């Protein structure tokens, strides 16, 4: 087996163990080792793209990543209560592994995005 370039490639190659939740021929979903919500699963394409902007060049694979995220939400029982799918792109957004991955978060009430520190919904008048 060849040397994988990053952590996710090593997980895909089964060189590093992971708690795998779901797999398709083109995607792998596994639990985040540092969960930020009760449910926190990462969905990665098995082919490496640096970020979601690069993956956008392959719309069918991008759609499969989103479909896999939905399957994870179904398996985790969080479809009805709600879930969030997040792609971090580059360092300032918090991307630390440069192999595109979707975070599927849910299973509890989630907070707001970014630096908003007010109360209530910022979109309510």
Provide DSSP, 92-117: GGT--SSS--EEEEESS----STT--
Q: What is the mean pLDDT of residues 80-104?
A: 95
pLDDT at 71 over 80: yes
Give the percent of the chain with pLDDT over 70.
87
The pLDDT assigned to 32 comes to 96
Reported as a pLDDT band with limits 50, 70 and 90, residue 73 is very high
Q: Interior CA angle at 98 toward 58 and 7, to 5°?
A: 110
Residues acting as catalytic residues: 101
Reported pTM? 0.86
Is 24 within 8 Å of 83 (Cβ atoms)? Answer: no
d(CA 63, CA 69): 10
> What pLDDT, on the 0 to 100 scale, is given for residue 111?
86
């Amino acid at each position: 087996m060849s040397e994988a370039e990053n952590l996710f490639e090593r997980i895909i190659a089964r060189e590093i163990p992971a708690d795998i939740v779901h797999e398709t021929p083109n995607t792998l979903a596994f639990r985040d080792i540092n969960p930020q919500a009760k449910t926190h699963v990462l969905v990665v394409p098995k082919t490496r793209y640096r970020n979601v902007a690069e993956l956008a060049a392959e719309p069918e694979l991008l759609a499969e990543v989103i479909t896999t995220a939905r399957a994870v939400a179904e398996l985790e029982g969080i479809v009805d209560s709600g879930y969030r799918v997040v792609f971090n792109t580059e360092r300032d957004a918090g991307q630390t592994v440069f192999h595109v991955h979707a975070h599927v978060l849910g299973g509890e009430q989630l907070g707001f995005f970014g630096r908003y520190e007010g109360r209530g919904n910022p979109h309510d008048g």
